[in-house]
Structure 1
Amino acid sequence: MEINPLMRVLFPLLVAAGLSSAALADEAESSTETARNLPAVSVVEATRAEVFARVPVSGSLVARQQVQVFPQVSGYEITEILVEAGDTVEKGQVLARLATDTLDAQLEQARAEYARAEAGVGQARSNIDSAQASLTQATTALERVQRLRQSGNASQAVLDQAVADEANARAQAASAGDGLAVAQAALGQAQAARRIAELNRDRAAIIAPVGGVISARTAELGAMAGGGTDPLFTLIENGEIEFSAEVIETALPELATGAPATVSIAGLGEISGQVRLIPAAVDQVSRLGLMRISLEQKPGLRPGLFGNGWITTAQRQAVTVPMAAVLTDADGERVQVVVDGQIESREVRAGLLWEGRREIVEGVNEGETVLARAGAFFSDGDQIRVIDEDRSQEPDDAEAAATAETAGAVGQADQP
Structure 2
Amino acid sequence: MRALFSFLVAAGLALSAFAEDAAPAEDSGRAIPAVTLATARIAEMQARVPVSGTLVARQPVQIFPQVSGYEITEILVEAGDTVEKGAVLARLDSETLSALLAQAEAEYQRAEAGVSQAQSAIDATAAALTQAETSLRRMRQLRESGNVSQAVLDEAVAAEAAARAEAASAADGVGVARAALALAEASRRVARLNMQRAEIVAPVAGLVSARNAELGALSGAGSEPLFSLIAEGSVELAAEVIETALPGLAVGAPAEISVAGLGRIEGEVRLVPATVDPVTRLGLARIALDPDPRLRTGLFASGWVITARRQSVAIPAGAVLSDSGGDRVQVVEDGVVRTREVRAGLLWDGQREILEGVEEGETVIARSGAFFREGDRVREAAAAQQAPEQAADP
Same fold? TM cut 0.5: yes
8 Å CA contact 2:38–2:365 kept in 1: the answer is: yes
Please list every run of 5 or more consecutive structure 1 residues that lacks an aligned counterpart in the other structure: 1-26, 402-416
- 2:158 counterpart (156, 164, 175): 164
Deviation at 1:36, TM superposition (A): 5.2
* Aligned pairs for 1:323-338 within 5 A: 323-338=317-332
Q: CA deviation at 1:53?
A: 0.7
**Correspondence 1:63 to 2:57:** yes
- Is the counterpart of residue 285 in structure 1 residue 283 in structure 2? no
User: 2:382 matched to 1:372?
Assistant: no
Q: Find the aligned partners of 1:43 and 1:303 in 2 and give their Cα distance.
A: 50
Determine if the alignment matches structure 1 residue 362 to structure 2 residue 356.
yes
Is the partner of 2:99 in helix, strand or coil?
helix
User: Residue 327 of structure 1 contacts residue 374 of structure 1 at CA under 8 Å; is this kept in 2?
Assistant: no
Change (3 A) 1:106 1:339: same
| CA apart distance, 1:392 | 6.4
Deviations, residues 42-100 of structure 1 (Å, cap 9, x unaligned): 21111111111111100111111011110000000000000000001000010000001
Structure 2 stretches of 5 or more lacking a match?
1-21
Percent of matched pairs sharing the same residue: 62
Match of 1:199 in 2: 193
Which structure: larger Rg? 1
- The residue number in structure 2 matching 1:349 is 343
Query: Aligned to 2:211, which of 204, 217, 230?
Result: 217
Q: 1: distance between equivalents of 2:229 and 2:31? A: 77
Map 1:13-28; keep pairs closer than 5 Å: none
Matches of residues 127-142 of structure 1 in structure 2 within 5 Å? 127-142=121-136
Name the counterpart of 1:183.
177
Matched, 1:383 2:388: no
1:252 positional shift: 1.1
In structure 1, give the amino acid aligned to 2:165: A
* CA offsets 1:254-305 (integer angstroms, 9 cap, x no match): 1111111110001110000111110011100111111111111112100000
The 2-side partners of 1:296 and 1:389 are apart by 51
Aligned residues: 373
Deviations 1:296-316 (A, max 9, x none): 111210000000011111111
1:11-410 paired onto structure 2 within 5 Å: 34=28, 37-388=31-382, 391=385, 394=388, 396-397=390-391, 401=394
Preserved CA contact (<8 Å) 1:138 1:165: yes
The amino acid that maps onto 2:133 is T
Q: Do the aligned partners of 2:34 and 2:384 also contact (CA within 8 Å) in 1?
A: no
CA–CA distance in structure 1, aligned partners of residues 30 and 43 of structure 2? 34
| Alpha carbons of structure 1 residues 115 and 369: separation in structure 2 relative to 1, 3 Å | same
Q: Quick one: structure 1 residues 73 and 386, their matched pair in 2 at CA, closer, same or farther if it must change by over 3 Å? A: same
Structure 2 counterpart of 1:60, which letter? T
State the SS of the aligned residue for 1:353.
strand
Which string of whole-angstrom CA distances, capped at 9 and with x for unpartnered residues, describes residues 177-219 of structure 1? 0000000000110111011111111100000000011000000
Secondary structure at the aligned position of 2:208 is classed as strand
Contact 2:115 2:177 in 1 (8 A): yes
Residues 318-375 of structure 1: per-residue CA shift (max 9 Å, x gap): 1111111000011100000011211110000001111111011100011111111143
TM-score after normalising by structure 2: 0.91
Give yes or no for contact 1:35–1:385 (8 Å, CA) kept in 2. Answer: no
Give yes or no for contact 2:118–2:177 (8 Å, CA) kept in 1: yes
CA distance in 1, matches of 2:193, 2:207: 26
Cα distance between partner residues in 2 of 1:374 and 1:268: 43
Separation (CA, whole Å) in 1 of partners of 2:184 and 2:25: 120
Question: Residues of 2 paired with 1:78 and 1:356: CA distance?
Answer: 64
Which AA in structure 2 matches 1:257? V
Deviation at 1:390, TM superposition (A): 9.1
Could you say what secondary structure the match of 1:57 adopts?
strand
Partner Cα distance (2:106, 2:192) in 1: 13
Scaled by the length of structure 1, what TM-score is found?
0.86
**Retained in 2: the 8 A contact 1:134–1:169?**
yes
The whole-number CA distance in structure 2 between the counterparts of 1:390 and 1:306 is 52
| Aligned-partner Cα distance in 2 for 1:47–1:327 | 18
Query: In the superposition, relative to structure 1, how do residues 34 and 266 fare at CA in structure 2: closer, same or farther (>3 Å)?
Result: farther
Please report how far the alpha carbon of residue 382 of structure 1 lies from its aligned counterpart in structure 2 after TM superposition.
1.4
Task: Give, as a single letter, the amino acid of the residue that structure 2 aligns with 1:246.
Answer: E
SS across alignment from 1:394: helix
- Alignment partner of 2:371: what SS? coil
Query: Secondary structure of 2:388's partner?
Result: coil
Paired amino acid for 2:241? V
**Residue type of the alignment partner of 1:251:** A
- CA distance change for structure 1 residues 395 and 160 in 2, over 3 Å: closer, same or farther? same
